[in-house]
Amino acid sequence: MRVLIAEDDLTSRIALAGVLRKNGYEVVETVNGSEAWKALQQPDAPRLVILDWEMPEIDGLEVLRRIRSLHPDQPFYIILLTSKEDKADVIIGLDAGANDYLVKPFNAGELRARVEVGRRMVEMQDALIDTNNKLAYLATHDPLTGMLNRRAILDHLHKELARVGRQNTALAVGMCDIDHFKHINDTYGHQTGDEILCGLAQIFKAEIREYDSAGRIGGEEFLLITPVPTGTDCMPLFERLCQQVAGNQIVTKSGELSISLSIGVACTVSGGTVDELLEAADKALYQAKSEGRNRVAQHGEFLPEGVLQCVS
- CB of residue 85 to Mg ion, shortest distance in Å: 15
Task: Name which of 10 and 166 has its Cβ closer to Mg ion.
Answer: 10
- Which SS3 state, helix, strand or coil, does residue 98 take? coil
- CB of residue 9 to Mg ion, shortest distance in Å: 5
The CA distances from residue 148 to 61, 66, 144, 227, 262, in Å, are 45, 37, 11, 17, 20
**Residues of this chain, 200-239, that bind Mg ion according to CB under 5 A:** none
Task: Name which of 55 and 235 has its Cβ closer to Mg ion.
Answer: 55
* Residues forming the active site: 220
The answer to whether 250 and 181 have CB atoms below 8 angstroms apart is: no
Task: Name which of 54 and 212 has its Cβ closer to Mg ion.
Answer: 54
- CB of residue 8 to Mg ion, shortest distance in Å: 4
Task: Name which of 55 and 285 has its Cβ closer to Mg ion.
Answer: 55
- CB of residue 84 to Mg ion, shortest distance in Å: 11
Phi-psi region of 224 (alpha: psi -120 to 50; beta: other; left: phi over 0): beta
- CB of residue 13 to Mg ion, shortest distance in Å: 9
Is 8 an interacting residue with respect to Mg ion (CB under 5 A)? yes
The answer to whether 50 and 1 have CB atoms below 8 angstroms apart is: no
- Which SS3 state, helix, strand or coil, does residue 171 take? strand
Q: How far apart are CA 294 and CA 264, in angstroms?
A: 11
Q: State the number of binding residues for Mg ion (CB under 5 A).
A: 4
Buried b (16+ CB within 10 A) or exposed e, 274-295: beebbebbbebbbbbbeeeebb
Phi-psi region of 175 (alpha: psi -120 to 50; beta: other; left: phi over 0): beta
Give the angle subtended at the CA of 136 by the CAs of 132 and 140, to the nearest 5°. Answer: 170
- CB of residue 104 to Mg ion, shortest distance in Å: 9
The answer to whether 274 and 157 have CB atoms below 8 angstroms apart is: yes
Q: 137: closest CA among 124, 127, 147, 126?
A: 147
**Residues of this chain, 27-86, that bind Mg ion according to CB under 5 A:** 52, 54-55
Task: Name which of 10 and 88 has its Cβ closer to Mg ion.
Answer: 10
The CA distances from residue 260 to 101, 206, 306, in Å, are 66, 16, 25
Task: Name which of 53 and 77 has its Cβ closer to Mg ion.
Answer: 53
Residue nearest to Mg ion (CB): 54
Q: How far apart are CA 113 and CA 107, in angstroms?
A: 10
Contact residues: Mg ion, CB under 5 A: 8, 52, 54-55
